[in-house]
Structure 1
Protein backbone atom coordinates (compact mmCIF):
# COMPACT_ATOMS: atom_id res chain seq x y z
CA UNK A 1 0.00 0.00 0.00
CA UNK A 2 1.32 3.41 -0.99
CA UNK A 3 1.70 5.99 1.79
CA UNK A 4 0.07 9.34 1.10
CA UNK A 5 2.00 12.59 1.37
CA UNK A 6 -0.06 13.51 4.43
CA UNK A 7 0.78 10.25 6.17
CA UNK A 8 4.45 10.68 5.23
CA UNK A 9 4.55 14.20 6.70
CA UNK A 10 2.76 13.01 9.83
CA UNK A 11 5.27 10.19 10.27
CA UNK A 12 8.22 12.55 9.92
CA UNK A 13 6.64 14.94 12.42
CA UNK A 14 6.16 12.13 14.93
CA UNK A 15 9.75 10.99 14.45
CA UNK A 16 11.00 14.54 15.06
CA UNK A 17 8.89 14.77 18.21
CA UNK A 18 10.31 11.48 19.49
CA UNK A 19 13.83 12.73 18.71
CA UNK A 20 13.24 16.00 20.57
CA UNK A 21 11.76 14.17 23.55
CA UNK A 22 14.69 11.76 23.66
CA UNK A 23 17.08 14.70 23.62
CA UNK A 24 15.18 16.44 26.44
CA UNK A 25 15.27 13.25 28.50
CA UNK A 26 19.02 12.95 27.91
CA UNK A 27 19.55 16.59 28.90
CA UNK A 28 17.46 16.10 32.06
CA UNK A 29 19.45 13.01 33.08
CA UNK A 30 22.71 14.87 32.42
CA UNK A 31 21.57 17.85 34.53
CA UNK A 32 20.53 15.53 37.34
CA UNK A 33 23.94 13.84 37.29
CA UNK A 34 25.88 17.08 37.21
CA UNK A 35 23.84 18.79 39.89
CA UNK A 36 23.84 15.81 42.26
CA UNK A 37 26.13 17.57 44.77
CA UNK A 38 23.52 20.32 45.10
CA UNK A 39 20.54 18.01 45.48
CA UNK A 40 21.46 14.42 46.29
CA UNK A 41 21.50 12.82 49.76
CA UNK A 42 24.79 11.23 48.70
CA UNK A 43 26.49 14.57 49.40
CA UNK A 44 24.86 15.35 52.74
CA UNK A 45 27.05 15.79 55.80
CA UNK A 46 26.95 12.84 58.21
CA UNK A 47 24.30 12.90 60.93
CA UNK A 48 23.60 14.09 63.54
CA UNK A 49 23.52 17.65 62.24
CA UNK A 50 25.47 20.07 64.41
CA UNK A 51 24.03 23.34 65.66
CA UNK A 52 24.34 26.10 63.06
CA UNK A 53 26.94 28.53 64.39
CA UNK A 54 27.56 30.49 61.20
CA UNK A 55 25.67 31.14 57.99
CA UNK A 56 28.19 31.85 55.24
CA UNK A 57 26.61 33.32 52.11
CA UNK A 58 28.45 34.04 48.87
CA UNK A 59 26.81 36.86 46.91
CA UNK A 60 27.34 36.13 43.24
CA UNK A 61 26.41 36.91 39.65
CA UNK A 62 26.30 34.46 36.72
CA UNK A 63 29.69 33.31 35.43
CA UNK A 64 31.72 35.21 38.03
CA UNK A 65 33.73 32.08 38.86
CA UNK A 66 31.76 31.29 42.00
CA UNK A 67 31.42 27.57 41.32
CA UNK A 68 35.18 27.15 40.99
CA UNK A 69 35.93 29.32 44.03
CA UNK A 70 33.33 27.69 46.27
CA UNK A 71 34.39 24.19 45.24
CA UNK A 72 37.98 25.09 46.08
CA UNK A 73 36.96 26.49 49.46
CA UNK A 74 35.01 23.32 50.21
CA UNK A 75 38.26 21.38 50.11
CA UNK A 76 39.37 23.22 53.29
CA UNK A 77 36.49 21.53 55.18
CA UNK A 78 35.78 24.77 57.02
CA UNK A 79 33.14 26.44 54.88
CA UNK A 80 30.41 23.82 54.69
CA UNK A 81 29.37 22.91 51.14
CA UNK A 82 28.59 26.20 49.35
CA UNK A 83 26.40 25.38 46.38
CA UNK A 84 23.50 27.03 44.57
CA UNK A 85 20.73 25.73 46.83
CA UNK A 86 18.48 28.77 46.37
CA UNK A 87 18.24 28.41 42.63
CA UNK A 88 14.44 27.88 42.43
CA UNK A 89 14.84 24.54 40.64
CA UNK A 90 17.31 23.22 43.21
CA UNK A 91 15.33 24.51 46.16
CA UNK A 92 12.19 22.85 44.82
CA UNK A 93 14.06 19.54 44.75
CA UNK A 94 14.87 19.97 48.47
CA UNK A 95 11.18 20.42 49.17
CA UNK A 96 10.51 17.19 47.30
CA UNK A 97 13.26 15.40 49.24
CA UNK A 98 11.78 16.55 52.53
CA UNK A 99 8.18 15.96 51.57
CA UNK A 100 7.82 19.51 52.85
CA UNK A 101 4.49 21.26 53.14
CA UNK A 102 6.17 24.69 53.11
CA UNK A 103 9.35 26.29 51.84
CA UNK A 104 10.37 27.06 55.41
CA UNK A 105 10.23 23.34 56.15
CA UNK A 106 12.33 22.67 53.04
CA UNK A 107 14.89 25.20 54.26
CA UNK A 108 15.11 23.51 57.65
CA UNK A 109 15.62 20.15 55.94
CA UNK A 110 18.36 21.61 53.73
CA UNK A 111 20.24 23.28 56.58
CA UNK A 112 20.11 20.17 58.75
CA UNK A 113 21.80 18.11 56.03
CA UNK A 114 24.30 20.58 54.64
CA UNK A 115 25.79 22.09 57.81
CA UNK A 116 29.44 21.12 58.25
CA UNK A 117 30.99 19.56 61.32
CA UNK A 118 32.16 22.99 62.51
CA UNK A 119 28.61 24.37 62.45
CA UNK A 120 28.98 26.32 59.19
CA UNK A 121 26.15 26.28 56.67
CA UNK A 122 27.04 27.95 53.39
CA UNK A 123 25.46 28.71 50.04
CA UNK A 124 26.17 30.77 46.98
CA UNK A 125 23.32 32.98 45.80
CA UNK A 126 22.81 34.96 42.61
CA UNK A 127 20.91 38.21 43.10
CA UNK A 128 18.01 37.02 40.92
CA UNK A 129 17.60 33.94 43.15
CA UNK A 130 17.79 36.03 46.31
CA UNK A 131 15.27 38.49 44.94
CA UNK A 132 12.92 35.63 44.06
CA UNK A 133 12.76 34.25 47.62
CA UNK A 134 9.05 33.86 48.33
CA UNK A 135 8.67 35.63 51.67
CA UNK A 136 10.16 38.14 54.08
CA UNK A 137 10.61 35.28 56.53
CA UNK A 138 12.89 33.52 54.05
CA UNK A 139 14.87 36.69 53.32
CA UNK A 140 15.16 37.50 57.02
CA UNK A 141 16.79 34.11 57.53
CA UNK A 142 19.89 35.62 55.91
CA UNK A 143 20.23 38.20 58.68
CA UNK A 144 23.45 38.00 60.67
CA UNK A 145 25.09 35.91 57.94
CA UNK A 146 28.76 36.16 57.10
CA UNK A 147 28.76 37.63 53.60
CA UNK A 148 31.37 37.21 50.87
CA UNK A 149 31.06 38.86 47.47
CA UNK A 150 32.56 37.00 44.53
CA UNK A 151 33.34 39.26 41.61
CA UNK A 152 35.07 39.06 38.28
CA UNK A 153 37.24 42.00 37.26
CA UNK A 154 36.85 41.33 33.52
CA UNK A 155 33.14 41.98 33.06
CA UNK A 156 33.27 41.55 29.29
CA UNK A 157 34.80 38.08 29.70
CA UNK A 158 32.04 37.30 32.20
CA UNK A 159 29.32 38.43 29.79
CA UNK A 160 30.87 36.40 26.96
CA UNK A 161 31.10 33.33 29.19
CA UNK A 162 27.45 33.70 30.19
CA UNK A 163 26.24 33.99 26.60
CA UNK A 164 28.25 30.97 25.47
CA UNK A 165 26.93 28.90 28.39
CA UNK A 166 23.36 30.02 27.71
CA UNK A 167 23.59 29.03 24.04
CA UNK A 168 25.35 25.70 24.56
CA UNK A 169 23.72 24.63 27.84
CA UNK A 170 27.19 23.98 29.24
CA UNK A 171 27.35 25.86 32.55
CA UNK A 172 29.82 23.43 34.14
CA UNK A 173 32.83 21.99 32.34
CA UNK A 174 31.49 18.42 32.54
CA UNK A 175 28.28 19.38 30.73
CA UNK A 176 28.32 18.64 27.01
CA UNK A 177 27.51 21.43 24.55
CA UNK A 178 24.22 20.87 22.76
CA UNK A 179 24.92 23.31 19.94
CA UNK A 180 27.68 25.44 18.43
CA UNK A 181 27.37 28.99 19.83
CA UNK A 182 26.90 31.89 17.44
CA UNK A 183 28.43 35.28 18.17
CA UNK A 184 25.86 38.03 18.80
CA UNK A 185 26.99 41.50 19.92
CA UNK A 186 23.56 42.55 21.20
CA UNK A 187 23.09 39.45 23.31
CA UNK A 188 26.52 39.83 24.92
CA UNK A 189 25.78 43.51 25.57
CA UNK A 190 22.51 42.52 27.27
CA UNK A 191 24.41 40.03 29.45
CA UNK A 192 26.84 42.77 30.43
CA UNK A 193 23.99 45.07 31.43
CA UNK A 194 22.41 42.30 33.49
CA UNK A 195 25.68 41.66 35.33
CA UNK A 196 26.10 45.35 36.14
CA UNK A 197 22.47 45.54 37.27
CA UNK A 198 22.83 42.55 39.60
CA UNK A 199 26.11 43.83 41.02
CA UNK A 200 24.46 47.19 41.72
CA UNK A 201 21.55 45.42 43.44
CA UNK A 202 23.94 43.56 45.75
CA UNK A 203 25.77 46.80 46.53
CA UNK A 204 22.49 48.52 47.36
CA UNK A 205 21.42 45.62 49.59
CA UNK A 206 24.65 45.74 51.57
CA UNK A 207 24.69 49.53 51.85
CA UNK A 208 21.11 49.70 53.11
CA UNK A 209 21.88 47.15 55.83
CA UNK A 210 25.34 48.47 56.64
CA UNK A 211 26.89 45.12 55.75
CA UNK A 212 30.57 45.08 54.80
CA UNK A 213 31.13 41.78 52.98
CA UNK A 214 34.50 40.23 52.35
CA UNK A 215 35.39 40.30 48.65
CA UNK A 216 36.99 37.64 46.47
CA UNK A 217 37.99 38.56 42.92
CA UNK A 218 38.28 35.64 40.51
CA UNK A 219 41.43 36.83 38.77
CA UNK A 220 43.23 37.28 42.10
CA UNK A 221 41.93 33.97 43.43
CA UNK A 222 43.26 32.10 40.40
CA UNK A 223 46.79 33.36 41.07
CA UNK A 224 47.00 31.45 44.37
CA UNK A 225 43.81 29.61 45.38
CA UNK A 226 45.34 28.09 48.54
CA UNK A 227 46.59 31.41 49.89
CA UNK A 228 43.34 33.18 49.01
CA UNK A 229 41.30 30.44 50.71
CA UNK A 230 43.45 30.52 53.84
CA UNK A 231 43.22 34.32 54.06
CA UNK A 232 39.42 34.25 53.80
CA UNK A 233 39.04 31.53 56.42
CA UNK A 234 41.30 33.45 58.79
CA UNK A 235 39.40 36.71 58.19
CA UNK A 236 36.07 34.99 58.89
CA UNK A 237 37.41 33.10 61.91
CA UNK A 238 36.05 29.74 60.78
CA UNK A 239 37.07 26.82 63.05
CA UNK A 240 38.21 23.40 61.97
CA UNK A 241 35.47 20.91 61.28
CA UNK A 242 34.88 18.08 63.73
CA UNK A 243 33.73 14.57 62.98
CA UNK A 244 33.42 12.82 59.61
CA UNK A 245 33.82 14.83 56.45
CA UNK A 246 31.24 15.21 53.73
CA UNK A 247 31.69 13.14 50.58
CA UNK A 248 34.00 14.58 47.95
CA UNK A 249 32.46 16.55 45.14
CA UNK A 250 33.65 16.51 41.51
CA UNK A 251 36.71 18.63 40.83
CA UNK A 252 35.81 21.86 39.04
CA UNK A 253 37.90 23.16 36.15
CA UNK A 254 37.88 26.40 34.23
CA UNK A 255 35.76 26.52 31.07
CA UNK A 256 37.89 29.21 29.46
CA UNK A 257 38.31 28.31 25.81
CA UNK A 258 39.76 29.90 22.69
CA UNK A 259 36.28 30.90 21.57
CA UNK A 260 35.87 33.00 24.73
CA UNK A 261 38.94 35.13 24.08
CA UNK A 262 38.00 35.50 20.40
CA UNK A 263 34.51 36.69 21.21
CA UNK A 264 35.82 39.04 23.89
CA UNK A 265 38.22 40.75 21.47
CA UNK A 266 35.54 41.01 18.80
CA UNK A 267 33.03 42.51 21.25
CA UNK A 268 35.51 45.09 22.60
CA UNK A 269 36.40 46.16 19.05
CA UNK A 270 32.75 46.56 18.08
CA UNK A 271 31.94 48.40 21.30
CA UNK A 272 34.77 50.85 20.69
CA UNK A 273 33.60 51.54 17.14
CA UNK A 274 30.01 52.13 18.28
CA UNK A 275 31.22 54.47 21.01
CA UNK A 276 33.07 56.56 18.41
CA UNK A 277 29.94 56.77 16.27
Structure 2
Protein backbone atom coordinates (compact mmCIF):
# COMPACT_ATOMS: atom_id res chain seq x y z
CA UNK A 1 0.00 0.00 0.00
CA UNK A 2 1.23 3.47 -0.87
CA UNK A 3 -0.79 4.67 2.12
CA UNK A 4 -1.20 2.21 4.96
CA UNK A 5 -4.55 3.71 5.91
CA UNK A 6 -5.94 2.39 2.61
CA UNK A 7 -5.61 -1.14 3.96
CA UNK A 8 -8.50 -3.26 5.27
CA UNK A 9 -7.39 -2.88 8.89
CA UNK A 10 -8.67 0.71 8.74
CA UNK A 11 -12.08 -0.19 7.29
CA UNK A 12 -15.37 0.20 9.11
CA UNK A 13 -17.66 -2.86 9.28
CA UNK A 14 -19.33 -3.36 5.86
CA UNK A 15 -22.21 -0.93 5.40
CA UNK A 16 -25.31 -2.61 3.92
CA UNK A 17 -26.40 0.05 1.41
CA UNK A 18 -25.89 3.59 0.11
CA UNK A 19 -24.91 5.88 3.00
CA UNK A 20 -27.64 8.42 3.80
CA UNK A 21 -25.08 11.15 4.59
CA UNK A 22 -22.37 11.93 2.04
CA UNK A 23 -20.00 14.88 2.19
CA UNK A 24 -16.98 16.41 0.51
CA UNK A 25 -14.11 18.16 2.25
CA UNK A 26 -13.51 20.86 -0.36
CA UNK A 27 -9.86 21.67 0.13
CA UNK A 28 -6.61 23.08 -1.22
CA UNK A 29 -3.08 21.84 -0.46
CA UNK A 30 -1.88 22.56 3.09
CA UNK A 31 -5.12 24.19 4.22
CA UNK A 32 -5.49 21.93 7.26
CA UNK A 33 -7.65 19.35 5.53
CA UNK A 34 -5.56 16.45 6.87
CA UNK A 35 -6.08 17.75 10.40
CA UNK A 36 -9.84 18.02 9.93
CA UNK A 37 -10.13 14.71 8.06
CA UNK A 38 -8.36 12.78 10.82
CA UNK A 39 -10.32 14.63 13.50
CA UNK A 40 -13.62 13.63 11.90
CA UNK A 41 -12.49 10.04 11.35
CA UNK A 42 -11.44 9.61 14.96
CA UNK A 43 -14.89 10.63 16.18
CA UNK A 44 -16.15 7.35 14.70
CA UNK A 45 -19.32 9.02 13.38
CA UNK A 46 -18.13 10.88 10.26
CA UNK A 47 -16.68 8.21 7.98
CA UNK A 48 -13.01 8.40 6.99
CA UNK A 49 -12.68 11.30 4.52
CA UNK A 50 -9.56 10.84 2.42
CA UNK A 51 -8.28 11.76 -1.07
CA UNK A 52 -9.96 8.71 -2.58
CA UNK A 53 -10.05 10.15 -6.11
CA UNK A 54 -6.36 11.13 -6.19
CA UNK A 55 -4.21 8.87 -8.33
CA UNK A 56 -2.17 7.17 -5.60
CA UNK A 57 -5.28 6.35 -3.58
CA UNK A 58 -7.13 4.97 -6.58
CA UNK A 59 -4.16 2.76 -7.47
CA UNK A 60 -4.05 1.40 -3.91
CA UNK A 61 -7.70 0.40 -4.08
CA UNK A 62 -7.51 -0.91 -7.64
CA UNK A 63 -4.73 -3.23 -6.50
CA UNK A 64 -6.60 -4.13 -3.33
CA UNK A 65 -9.84 -4.99 -5.13
CA UNK A 66 -8.46 -6.12 -8.46
CA UNK A 67 -10.20 -3.52 -10.62
CA UNK A 68 -9.15 -3.50 -14.26
CA UNK A 69 -9.76 -1.33 -17.31
CA UNK A 70 -12.62 -3.57 -18.40
CA UNK A 71 -15.95 -1.75 -18.26
CA UNK A 72 -13.95 1.46 -17.92
CA UNK A 73 -17.05 3.63 -18.13
CA UNK A 74 -18.28 2.12 -14.86
CA UNK A 75 -15.02 2.38 -12.90
CA UNK A 76 -15.58 5.72 -11.13
CA UNK A 77 -18.97 4.62 -9.81
CA UNK A 78 -17.68 1.14 -8.97
CA UNK A 79 -14.76 2.63 -7.05
CA UNK A 80 -17.05 4.87 -5.01
CA UNK A 81 -19.56 2.08 -4.33
CA UNK A 82 -16.79 -0.17 -3.05
CA UNK A 83 -15.44 2.61 -0.86
CA UNK A 84 -18.87 3.37 0.55
CA UNK A 85 -19.17 -0.23 1.67
CA UNK A 86 -16.05 -0.10 3.86
CA UNK A 87 -15.41 3.59 4.55
CA UNK A 88 -18.90 4.51 5.76
CA UNK A 89 -19.13 4.78 9.54
CA UNK A 90 -21.78 2.59 11.21
CA UNK A 91 -24.17 5.56 11.51
CA UNK A 92 -24.26 5.93 7.71
CA UNK A 93 -21.80 8.77 7.03
CA UNK A 94 -19.36 8.72 4.10
CA UNK A 95 -16.83 11.47 3.42
CA UNK A 96 -14.26 12.19 0.76
CA UNK A 97 -11.60 14.89 0.47
CA UNK A 98 -11.06 16.65 -2.85
CA UNK A 99 -8.51 19.33 -3.69
CA UNK A 100 -9.64 21.99 -6.14
CA UNK A 101 -6.70 21.12 -8.37
CA UNK A 102 -8.09 17.60 -8.86
CA UNK A 103 -11.48 18.66 -10.19
CA UNK A 104 -10.38 19.33 -13.76
CA UNK A 105 -8.66 15.92 -13.99
CA UNK A 106 -11.56 13.80 -12.77
CA UNK A 107 -13.55 11.89 -15.37
CA UNK A 108 -16.78 12.24 -13.40
CA UNK A 109 -18.02 15.28 -11.49
CA UNK A 110 -18.02 14.45 -7.75
CA UNK A 111 -21.30 16.32 -7.26
CA UNK A 112 -22.97 13.87 -9.62
CA UNK A 113 -20.94 10.85 -8.53
CA UNK A 114 -21.92 11.35 -4.88
CA UNK A 115 -25.52 12.43 -5.61
CA UNK A 116 -25.46 16.02 -4.35
CA UNK A 117 -23.37 15.64 -1.18
CA UNK A 118 -22.91 18.17 1.59
CA UNK A 119 -19.75 20.30 1.42
CA UNK A 120 -17.33 21.33 4.14
CA UNK A 121 -14.91 23.89 2.77
CA UNK A 122 -11.54 24.06 4.50
CA UNK A 123 -9.66 27.34 4.19
CA UNK A 124 -6.55 28.92 5.61
CA UNK A 125 -6.66 32.61 6.47
CA UNK A 126 -2.88 33.06 6.11
CA UNK A 127 -2.32 32.03 2.51
CA UNK A 128 1.38 32.93 2.53
CA UNK A 129 2.09 30.42 5.29
CA UNK A 130 -0.06 27.94 3.35
CA UNK A 131 2.08 28.51 0.23
CA UNK A 132 5.25 28.06 2.28
CA UNK A 133 3.92 24.84 3.81
CA UNK A 134 3.01 23.65 0.30
CA UNK A 135 6.52 24.42 -0.95
CA UNK A 136 8.18 22.61 1.96
CA UNK A 137 5.94 19.55 1.58
CA UNK A 138 6.67 19.30 -2.14
CA UNK A 139 10.41 19.61 -1.57
CA UNK A 140 10.64 17.16 1.33
CA UNK A 141 7.86 14.73 0.38
CA UNK A 142 6.48 14.91 3.94
CA UNK A 143 2.75 15.69 3.77
CA UNK A 144 1.54 14.29 7.07
CA UNK A 145 3.11 13.23 10.36
CA UNK A 146 0.79 10.73 11.98
CA UNK A 147 1.75 9.72 15.48
CA UNK A 148 -1.20 7.35 15.99
CA UNK A 149 -1.28 4.81 13.17
CA UNK A 150 1.53 5.55 10.74
CA UNK A 151 5.24 6.02 11.28
CA UNK A 152 6.36 9.59 10.68
CA UNK A 153 7.42 10.14 7.09
CA UNK A 154 11.11 10.78 6.47
CA UNK A 155 12.10 13.77 4.40
CA UNK A 156 13.69 12.94 1.06
CA UNK A 157 15.56 16.25 1.08
CA UNK A 158 16.05 19.36 3.18
CA UNK A 159 13.76 22.30 2.34
CA UNK A 160 15.39 25.20 0.48
CA UNK A 161 13.98 28.70 0.36
CA UNK A 162 12.86 29.75 -3.13
CA UNK A 163 11.10 33.09 -3.51
CA UNK A 164 9.84 32.31 -7.01
CA UNK A 165 8.48 28.89 -6.06
CA UNK A 166 6.62 30.25 -3.05
CA UNK A 167 5.15 32.95 -5.27
CA UNK A 168 3.93 30.34 -7.77
CA UNK A 169 2.32 28.31 -4.99
CA UNK A 170 0.67 31.43 -3.64
CA UNK A 171 -0.90 32.21 -6.98
CA UNK A 172 -1.93 28.58 -7.47
CA UNK A 173 -3.73 28.64 -4.13
CA UNK A 174 -5.51 31.85 -5.13
CA UNK A 175 -6.67 30.07 -8.28
CA UNK A 176 -7.79 27.02 -6.30
CA UNK A 177 -9.93 29.21 -4.05
CA UNK A 178 -11.55 30.73 -7.14
CA UNK A 179 -12.18 27.22 -8.48
CA UNK A 180 -14.15 26.25 -5.38
CA UNK A 181 -16.03 29.57 -5.49
CA UNK A 182 -17.10 28.86 -9.07
CA UNK A 183 -18.00 25.26 -8.25
CA UNK A 184 -20.23 26.33 -5.36
CA UNK A 185 -21.94 28.91 -7.55
CA UNK A 186 -22.53 26.39 -10.33
CA UNK A 187 -24.38 23.97 -8.07
CA UNK A 188 -25.92 26.43 -5.63
CA UNK A 189 -23.82 25.02 -2.78
CA UNK A 190 -23.67 26.71 0.62
CA UNK A 191 -20.80 24.92 2.35
CA UNK A 192 -19.93 24.80 6.00
CA UNK A 193 -16.63 26.69 6.25
CA UNK A 194 -13.79 25.66 8.53
CA UNK A 195 -10.85 28.05 8.84
CA UNK A 196 -7.60 26.32 9.76
CA UNK A 197 -6.56 28.91 12.30
CA UNK A 198 -9.92 28.55 14.07
CA UNK A 199 -9.64 24.76 13.97
CA UNK A 200 -6.27 24.92 15.71
CA UNK A 201 -7.39 27.49 18.29
CA UNK A 202 -10.83 25.97 18.97
CA UNK A 203 -10.39 22.33 18.01
CA UNK A 204 -13.28 20.64 19.81
CA UNK A 205 -15.75 23.42 19.03
CA UNK A 206 -14.82 23.31 15.33
CA UNK A 207 -15.19 19.53 15.07
CA UNK A 208 -18.56 19.60 16.85
CA UNK A 209 -19.77 22.33 14.46
CA UNK A 210 -18.84 20.11 11.48
CA UNK A 211 -20.72 17.16 12.93
CA UNK A 212 -23.76 19.36 13.57
CA UNK A 213 -23.65 20.50 9.93
CA UNK A 214 -23.62 16.86 8.83
CA UNK A 215 -26.60 16.21 11.07
CA UNK A 216 -24.96 13.59 13.26
CA UNK A 217 -24.67 13.39 17.02
CA UNK A 218 -21.21 14.14 18.33
CA UNK A 219 -19.61 11.74 20.79
CA UNK A 220 -19.30 12.91 24.36
CA UNK A 221 -15.52 13.17 23.97
CA UNK A 222 -13.81 14.56 20.85
CA UNK A 223 -10.53 12.66 20.48
CA UNK A 224 -7.33 14.29 19.20
CA UNK A 225 -6.63 14.00 15.46
CA UNK A 226 -3.52 11.87 15.88
CA UNK A 227 -1.31 13.99 13.61
CA UNK A 228 1.31 16.58 14.42
CA UNK A 229 1.59 20.13 13.15
CA UNK A 230 4.56 20.57 10.83
CA UNK A 231 5.10 24.32 11.04
CA UNK A 232 8.38 25.23 12.75
CA UNK A 233 11.05 27.89 12.78
CA UNK A 234 11.70 27.33 9.08
CA UNK A 235 8.21 28.55 8.24
CA UNK A 236 8.64 31.77 10.22
CA UNK A 237 12.08 32.40 8.74
CA UNK A 238 10.69 31.97 5.22
CA UNK A 239 7.77 34.31 5.94
CA UNK A 240 10.24 37.04 6.91
CA UNK A 241 12.47 36.36 3.89
CA UNK A 242 9.53 36.37 1.49
CA UNK A 243 8.25 39.72 2.79
CA UNK A 244 11.76 41.15 2.58
CA UNK A 245 12.28 39.86 -0.97
CA UNK A 246 8.84 41.04 -2.06
CA UNK A 247 9.64 44.49 -0.73
CA UNK A 248 12.73 44.59 -2.95
CA UNK A 249 10.72 43.37 -5.90
CA UNK A 250 7.74 45.74 -5.91
CA UNK A 251 5.80 45.56 -9.15
CA UNK A 252 7.09 42.15 -10.15
CA UNK A 253 4.55 39.34 -10.53
CA UNK A 254 6.17 36.63 -8.42
CA UNK A 255 3.53 34.16 -9.52
CA UNK A 256 3.83 34.67 -13.27
CA UNK A 257 4.16 30.92 -13.81
CA UNK A 258 1.22 30.10 -11.53
CA UNK A 259 -0.88 28.65 -14.32
CA UNK A 260 1.64 25.87 -14.88
CA UNK A 261 1.14 22.63 -12.98
CA UNK A 262 4.02 22.35 -10.53
CA UNK A 263 4.22 18.87 -9.05
CA UNK A 264 0.56 18.65 -8.06
CA UNK A 265 -0.78 15.17 -7.25
CA UNK A 266 -3.35 15.22 -10.03
CA UNK A 267 -6.60 13.36 -9.72
CA UNK A 268 -6.54 9.89 -11.25
CA UNK A 269 -7.85 9.58 -14.80
CA UNK A 270 -9.97 6.46 -14.98
CA UNK A 271 -9.06 4.44 -18.10
CA UNK A 272 -11.15 5.23 -21.14
CA UNK A 273 -12.64 2.55 -23.32
CA UNK A 274 -10.71 2.21 -26.60
Aligned partner of 2:95 in structure 1 is: 122
Segment drifting more, 84-93 vs 211-220: 84-93
Q: Does 1:149 align with 2:116?
A: no
Aligned counterparts, 1:1-277, within 5 A: 32=2, 35-37=3-5, 39-101=6-68, 102-136=75-109, 140-173=112-145, 174-239=152-217, 251-275=226-250
Q: Distance in 2 between matches of 1:232 and 1:208?
A: 23
- 2: CA distance, partners of 1:229 / 1:237: 13
How many angstroms apart in 2 are the aligned matches of 1:112 and 1:66? 23
Deviations 1:165-205 (A, max 9, x none): 11111111221111111111000000001111111001001
Change (3 A) 1:127 1:158: same
RMSD (Å) for aligned C-alpha atoms? 2.1
Scaled by the length of structure 2, the TM-score of the pair is: 0.80
1:234 CA drift (Å): 1.6
Structure 1 CA distance for aligned equivalents of residues 209 and 126 of structure 2? 23
4+ runs deviating over 4 angstroms = none
Does structure 2 retain, via aligned residues, the 8 Å contact 1:49–1:113? no
Cα distance in 1, alignment partners of residues 14 and 224 from structure 2: 18
Bigger Rg, which one: 1
Runs of at least 5 residues in structure 2 that lack an aligned partner in the other structure: 69-74, 146-151, 253-274
Gaps in structure 1 of 5+ consecutive residues? 1-30, 242-247
How many residues align structurally?
237
Q: Greater helix percent: which structure?
A: 1
Q: 1:79 to 1:250 in 2, by over 3 A?
A: closer
**Higher relative contact order (CA closer than 8 Å, sequence separation 6+):** 2
Flag the 1:208–1:139 CA change in 2: closer, same or farther, 3 A.
closer
SS in 2 for 1:161: helix
Greater mean alpha carbon deviation, residues 95-104 or residues 81-90: 95-104
